Amino acid sequence: MQPRLSNGPSPVFCTIVPPQILDKLSQSGDPLLSGPARRTLEADAAKRARRRLTALAGVPTVRSTAGTPPTTPHRTLYDCRHGTDLPGHQVRDEGEEPTQDASVNRAYAGLGATFELLHKEYGRSSIDGNGLPLIGSVHYDEQYNNAFFDGEQMVFGDGDGEIFLDFTVAIDVIAHELAHGLTQYTANLVYEGQPGALNESVSDVFGALVKQYSLGQSAREADWLIGAGLLAPRVSGVALRSMKAPGTAYDDDVLGKDPQPATMDDYIETEEDNGGVHLNSGIPNRAFHLLATALGGKAWERAGQIWFDVLTGGELASDADFATFARLTVTAAKTRFGTGDEAEAVTKAWSEVGVPTT
């Protein structure tokens, strides 16, 4: 399936750490926490504004390769050396030996694992379906508390060491951000409100799938945490988000309590964070977890296939809400697997989070 937009997808700026977390940190009385958070917020706001201008101008971003889609990735890693000029200094190209820099090697491996899942399990060559080269930059800025996909490449900060560690430590964070590119080249979901929450959720889903795929885990063996290992030891929490139990990933004196809702009963109406894209994503996240664990086995084989079919099938509008996405997953389940356990499990999963499928 080719991208919906023939003249190229609209570029977005998507980060793994929600702005409300950084805003909370920026208000801390501890300058070790507030300083890096404030600088990260300011930097993200500036990059987000530039992306909007790029989108309005209709400037194309990444280009696809021509010819037969390749079956292996082409990764190039750069070191920003704590600056902000992208992509930075090239340090590792496809096929080269590991470097002495663990961040470079982790990013290289994470990009490769994402390519492998997409290609081997879903027959897609890179995020655009045509073997798009994967670019990653590490050591971005000083104490930068985020990782992002800017429509062209992946970028990873080192964290402040107080709240966040190096953003390459969690493979699902790498895959999550790269999956924003997958969405950009398929449904191109608008990054606000419910379609924006779906955009975030799809990235969490594929982040979790890449992690499970790389570990060989079944749906029931997996922890279903996004960003496990990313929080520093001083933080009372296990990850940025929990797909299994939204709202339970952290409960910390500085960060506060994880605000994600688990059902539509607690849906958050807000103008912040593009209409709560990082908050309300907990609802479709939980639906996917319920489906994957109900079906059992490897989550990428049936549950993941259904989500992939919806994302790439050409029927998902860029402004789709939760109910539209849910209905399409039921249809996709029936199309691929018939009217058996899969379609029934999809319907039940959405019902449990309060999203109708009819």
Instruction: Give yes or no: residues 171 and 204 share one domain.
Output: no
Q: What angle do CA 284, 287, 292 make, to 5 degrees?
A: 130
Identify the pLDDT of residue 13: 84
Instruction: List C-alpha distances in Å: 107 to 97, 191, 350.
Output: 14, 25, 34
- Which of 176, 180, 278, 289 is catalytic? The answer is 278
Instruction: Give yes or no: residues 260 and 113 share one domain.
Output: no
162 has catalytic annotation: no
Domain end residue (candidates: 167, 184, 201): 184
Identify the pLDDT of residue 68: 87
Identify the pLDDT of residue 4: 32
Identify the pLDDT of residue 10: 53
Domain end residue (candidates: 150, 184, 218): 184
Instruction: Give yes or no: residues 330 and 200 share one domain.
Output: yes
Instruction: Give yes or no: residues 251 and 228 share one domain.
Output: yes
Report if residue 169 sits inside a domain.
yes
Averaged confidence pLDDT in the chain: 92
Report if residue 296 sits inside a domain.
yes
Identify the pLDDT of residue 66: 57
CA 152 to CA 62: how far, in whole Å? 5
Identify the pLDDT of residue 47: 86
Identify the pLDDT of residue 46: 86
| Torsion on CA atoms 243, 247, 249, 252, rounded to nearest 10 | 170
CATH code, 160:
3.10.170.10
CATH code, 223:
1.10.390.10
Identify the pLDDT of residue 1: 29
177 has catalytic annotation: yes
Q: Which domain holds residue 99?
A: 14-184
Report if residue 4 sits inside a domain.
no
Report if residue 98 sits inside a domain.
yes
Report if residue 272 sits inside a domain.
yes
Find tokens 């002495």 and name the residue. 100
What residues have CB less than 8 Å from 133, skipping those under 6 apart? 65, 74, 75, 76, 126
Instruction: Give yes or no: residues 137 and 271 share one domain.
Output: no
Identify the pLDDT of residue 322: 98
Report if residue 7 sits inside a domain.
no
Instruction: Give yes or no: residues 63 and 201 share one domain.
Output: no
- Which of 162, 176, 177, 342 is catalytic? The answer is 177
Instruction: Give yes or no: residues 279 and 169 share one domain.
Output: no
Identify the pLDDT of residue 302: 98
Instruction: Give yes or no: residues 218 and 172 share one domain.
Output: no
Instruction: Give yes or no: residues 165 and 239 share one domain.
Output: no
Report if residue 198 sits inside a domain.
yes
Weakly modelled stretches of the chain, pLDDT under 50: 1-9, 56-64
Instruction: Give yes or no: residues 160 and 201 share one domain.
Output: no
How many folded domains does the chain comprise?
2
Domain end residue (candidates: 184, 212, 247): 184
Instruction: Give yes or no: residues 180 and 203 share one domain.
Output: no
Instruction: Give yes or no: residues 107 and 201 share one domain.
Output: no
Report if residue 127 sits inside a domain.
yes
Largest CA distance in the chain: 57
Identify the pLDDT of residue 292: 98
Identify the pLDDT of residue 129: 96
